[in-house]
A and B are shown apart, each in its own frame.
Chain A
Amino acid sequence: MSSVWIVVAGLSFGLGAVLLVQAGNPGNYGFCAACHLRDIAGALGIHKAAPLQYARPEIMGWIIGAFVMSKTSGEFRPRGGSAPFIRFILGALMMLGALVFLGCPLRALLRLAGGDLNGITALAGFLAGIGTGIVFLRNGFSLGRARTISGPAAGSSYLPVVFAVILTAAVGSGSGYLYYSAQGPGSLHASILFSLISGLITGAIALKTRMCLSGGFRDFFLVKDTYLLKIYGLIFLSAVFANLFFGTFKLGFTGQPLAHTMHFWNFLGLYLVGVCATLLGGCPLRQLIMAADGNTDAGVCVLGMLAGAGIAHALNLAASGAGVPFNGQLAVGIALAAAFVIGWSFREKVLIKATA
């Protein structure tokens, strides 16, 4: 992959995120694979948190853009069947971790680029979580083989993009079947067209570059490959410059948009995301992109994330600007125990045949 793609990906995500905030999204909320999906869960009535309901077109754009790119580049491949139930659960746990911090790893980086120092605590937790996930991988963790899906059943691989198109049409036409926040973060958004185009472009780029922050750190730890980390470095730098340009850079821990300062829980929230993302083979953004390129296992993981968002808000587990509720703290402990049990239980030996 050429360095041109590193630059294209870095600039489009970094500048796009800040421009989306300028166009109406809440602060440091240009892109987020977790919170935006949580807002979609709200729009679909999966949770009833009134300020967090809007079918964010950025996410639908990611799925449609990645689908089109995978089709045109010949990378679309219907496949699945690798422990879908466990992937659903890990997706839900990953969403819980993200909602305790208030952001996916990409938003952690974008928050830091806006001067929100809580991003450092969270990214440290994310790194530690990846390290823990790698220990499980080295001890033989695997969710098993997926298989190629052929014939009419391959149609199931198109469901994410079909659903994304329907949801785009619904939010574009102001459908009464969706919920819309009258106030709060869900009521703040860029125009549907701008959000959708931003998503389409960055989704196609994410597919092409295989962008994944957990993958970036993992590749660095395992094979000293810095290709993905360079993309995230450039996203950070371009977002910092754009925030400085627009006057939205505000350095500090307190008074940050859609953030809290409970450092231990910021760390542990993304620690949980790091463990789950490593076991799943990709961060929340990557799961959405893989769901678009025919990977039905990633599609199941995204469904788990939607369910996780529903549970997190129904049971008062998710954080808010006020911090992480007791229920959420308890849930993170339980979720980590569950992730460790999964990491330890799902081990298998791959047969190596001697041929000479």
Chain B
Amino acid sequence: MEKKIDLRGYSCPIPLLRTRDALSTCDSLTVLIDEPAARENILKYAASQNFKAECFDGTGEWTLHISK
């Protein structure tokens, strides 16, 4: 199942924790974020778990597609 989570406005490490929680309930997740540190942390986490992650730039925010 694919899910989507809007984490704009949250500061570290909440975006990472909520992304991790959400990924435990689905195989594919779209994450909306606007904190550069959160983007880096989530991408690092995805890499550490061997998940596939893509990052798309928006205006001052990013959309991450993560799949297991």
Contact = CB atoms under 8 A, between A and B. Distances in A.
B31 to A, nearest CB: 10
Interface residues of B, number: 31
Given A219-B41, A223-B44, A355-B3, A145 B8 contact: yes
A66 to B, nearest CB: 14
A351 B34 CA distance: 17
Contacts of B5: 350-353
A47 interface: no
A84 to B, nearest CB: 13
Given A282-B12, A352-B25, A355-B30, 9 more contacts: A75-B36, A82-B9, A137-B17, A142-B14, A146-B11, A219-B44, A225-B44, A227-B44, A356-B2
A354 B9 contact: no
B7 interface: yes
B22 interface: yes
Interface of B: 1-14, 16-18, 20, 22, 25-26, 30, 34, 36-37, 40-41, 44-45, 48, 60
B6 A222 contact: no
A215 B17 contact: no
Interface residues of A, number: 34
Contacts of A51: none
Secondary structure call for the B interface:
mixed
Given A77-B60, A223-B48, A350-B18, A82 B11 contact: yes
A148 B60 CA distance: 9
Contact of A147 (B3, B4, B9, B11): B9
Contacts of A48: none
Contact of A142 (B1, B10, B22, B25): B10
Nearest to B7: A350
A281 B12 contact: yes
A218 B48 contact: no
A355 B30 CA distance: 9
A77 B12 CA distance: 15
A215 B34 contact: no
A246 B24 CA distance: 53
B65 to A, nearest CB: 11
A75 B12 CA distance: 16
Contact of A353 (B4, B13, B36, B60): B4
B4 A223 contact: no
Contacts of A210: 37, 40
Contacts of A215: 12-13
Contacts of B30: 355
Contact of A354 (B1, B37, B40): B1
A304 to B, nearest CB: 16
Interface in A177-224: 210, 215, 218-219, 222-224
Contacts of A355: 2-4, 30
A205 B56 CA distance: 27
B1 A356 contact: yes
A77 B59 CA distance: 12
A351 B25 CA distance: 13
